[in-house]
């Protein structure tokens, strides 16, 4: 009888221990909520109380999604699994990144839920928008001419086209510098000569200097200040015949910097030496953020990529207006060498502005009769995804 009682107690104790272990993750989820910044995505929301039969039927799936995303110690498990997989197989826990040779990484998709390898459209991967992009380029010229804006278009070749030889073989064969879509579009007979004269796509120039200039740090999607500075010099010469003797060279300081796509593989450290602009002792006064534009600060508060750099050196070019995608962040300081003022506005959040706010933004950027120079700067993949059409529908709506 005593033995039976002891056995029963041990069985109950084992059940309690097992239940306790199973309850620990839920307790951890309550005591230490999951930090969504680890995975840089929107976590599944709580299911809530169903209000009708449809919501009741959908509730189990929603509840399961919430539990999966908020399970105790999930961040530690995610980073631990990523480290283990990388250590064993040198594989990243995402389909958005592929590893090339010489430790170089390539971003091949911007959206984990979207089409795989979509970012390789710059190499021609499933590119099917030829007519639409040609229309965008012709529209660019027509809009600039109709509105009296001296706009130019700099299309920045992205890393897959520049460092083709370091890509995996299956991708490299699709990225011939002479056959990438942008090169073909600029030769197309449907592109008007006037439009062609406004566009600069310096792929061969960048490939020629890649051994002596770090155009794209090895573990980065975006370029660094060194690459942006080299291309800024090319663009200044190409568009405005402005030479390297203009202004004072910007000092660059190399620092060990975490990858700008590191959030896609939490737990794996892939830093790179990146050259950053250093304006100490220079004639350039940098300013980044909404406070740089007190005249329309409430509007600029809605745009997260904005800046204004002023250069007091003599003999510089006029104000430069940069309208860009995310590649403008590192381009802004490097163009400041050549101009008395550079104003940057990124277009990624233009849809957050009302029509009235867009009108005030246009008035700041595009001043009739001024000597301003205007440069639209996009990387090749966004141009091939009809970014010009998207942005121009907001910046330059018909009749406004």
User: Measured between alpha carbons, how far is 321 from 259 in angstroms, rounded to an integer?
Assistant: 28
pLDDT of residue 99: 86
pLDDT of residue 158: 93
Q: Is the pTM here over 0.85, yes or no?
A: no
Residue extents of the structural domains in the chain: 13-72, 105-395
pLDDT of residue 47: 78
Structure-token pair, residue 340: 């008395």
Determine the straight-line distance between the first and last CA of the chain, rounded to whole angstroms. Answer: 93
Closest CA to 149 of 389, 390, 369, 393: 369
pLDDT of residue 22: 54
User: Measured between alpha carbons, how far is 132 from 136 in angstroms, rounded to an integer?
Assistant: 6
pLDDT of residue 69: 65
HSE, side-chain direction, 13 A CA sphere, residue 266? 16
User: Measured between alpha carbons, how far is 128 from 112 in angstroms, rounded to an integer?
Assistant: 21
Closest CA to 153 of 391, 388, 371, 394: 388
Beta strand residue intervals within the chain, DSSP E: 97-99, 105-107, 151-156, 199-200, 251-257, 272-278, 284-285, 306-311, 320-324, 341-346, 373-379
User: Measured between alpha carbons, how far is 278 from 284 in angstroms, rounded to an integer?
Assistant: 10
User: Measured between alpha carbons, how far is 182 from 126 in angstroms, rounded to an integer?
Assistant: 14
Cα separations (Å) of 117 from 89, 174, 260? 21, 12, 18
Closest CA to 329 of 234, 220, 228: 228
Edge-to-edge strand ranges of the sheet holding 373-379: 199-200, 151-156, 373-379, 320-324, 341-346, 306-311, 284-285
pLDDT of residue 393: 95
pLDDT of residue 35: 59
**DSSP helix/strand/coil, 101:** coil
Whether the Cβ atoms of residue 170 and residue 125 lie closer than 8 Å to each other: no
User: Measured between alpha carbons, how far is 223 from 252 in angstroms, rounded to an integer?
Assistant: 14
Per-residue pLDDT of the chain (400 residues; tens, 9 = 90+): 555 576 666 666 666 666 655 555 655 555 556 555 556 567 777 778 888 888 787 777 877 777 666 666 666 666 777 677 776 767 777 778 888 888 898 888 777 666 677 778 888 887 889 999 999 999 999 999 999 999 999 999 999 999 999 988 888 887 888 889 999 999 999 999 999 999 999 999 999 999 999 999 999 999 999 999 999 999 999 999 998 888 888 999 999 999 988 888 887 888 888 999 999 989 999 999 999 999 999 999 999 899 999 999 999 999 999 999 999 999 999 999 999 999 999 999 999 999 999 999 999 999 988 999 999 999 999 999 999 999 999 999 875 5
In this structure, the number of other CB atoms found within 10 A of the CB of residue 138 comes to 16
pLDDT of residue 246: 84
Closest CA to 242 of 375, 84, 47: 375
């Amino acid at each position: 009888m005593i033995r039976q009682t002891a056995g029963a107690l041990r069985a109950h104790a084992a059940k309690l221990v097992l239940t306790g272990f199973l309850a620990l993750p839920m307790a951890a989820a309550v005591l230490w909520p999951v930090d969504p910044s680890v995975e840089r995505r929107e976590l599944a929301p709580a299911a809530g109380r169903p209000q009708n039969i449809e919501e009741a039927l959908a509730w189990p799936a929603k509840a399961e999604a919430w539990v999966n995303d908020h399970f105790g110690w999930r961040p530690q498990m995610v980073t631990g699994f990523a480290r283990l997989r990388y250590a064993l197989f040198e594989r990243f826990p995402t389909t958005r990144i592929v590893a090339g040779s010489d430790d170089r990484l390539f971003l091949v998709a911007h959206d984990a839920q979207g089409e795989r390898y979509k970012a390789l459209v710059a190499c021609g991967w499933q590119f099917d928008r030829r007519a639409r992009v040609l229309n965008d380029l012709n529209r660019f010229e027509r809009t600039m001419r109709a509105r009296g804006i001296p706009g130019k278009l700099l299309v920045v070749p992205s890393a897959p086209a520049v460092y083709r030889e370091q890509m995996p073989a299956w991708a490299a064969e699709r990225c011939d510098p002479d056959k990438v879509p942008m090169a073909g579009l600029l030769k197309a007979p449907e592109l008007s000569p006037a439009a062609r004269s406004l566009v600069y796509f310096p792929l061969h120039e960048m490939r020629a200097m890649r051994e002596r200039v770090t155009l794209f740090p090895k573990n980065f999607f975006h370029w660094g200040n060194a690459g942006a500075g080299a291309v800024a010099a090319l663009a200044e010469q190409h568009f405005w015949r402005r030479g390297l003797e203009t202004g004072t060279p910007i000092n660059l300081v190399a620092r060990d910097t975490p990858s700008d796509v590191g959030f896609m593989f939490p737990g794996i450290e892939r830093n790179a030496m990146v050259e950053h602009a250093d304006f100490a002792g220079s004639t350039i006064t940098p300013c980044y953020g909404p406070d740089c534009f007190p005249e329309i600060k409430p509007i600029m508060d809605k745009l997260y990529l904005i800046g204004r750099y002023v250069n007091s050196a003599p003999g510089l070019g006029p104000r430069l207006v940069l309208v860009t995608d995310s590649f403008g962040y590192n381009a802004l300081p490097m163009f400041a060498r050549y101009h008395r003022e550079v104003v940057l506005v990124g277009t990624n959040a233009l849809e957050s502005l009302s029509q009235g706010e867009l009108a005030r933004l246009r008035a700041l950027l595009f001043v009739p009769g001024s000597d301003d120079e205007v440069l639209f700067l996009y990387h090749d993949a966004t141009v091939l995804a009809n970014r010009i059409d998207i942005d121009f529908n907001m910046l330059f709506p018909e009749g406004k």
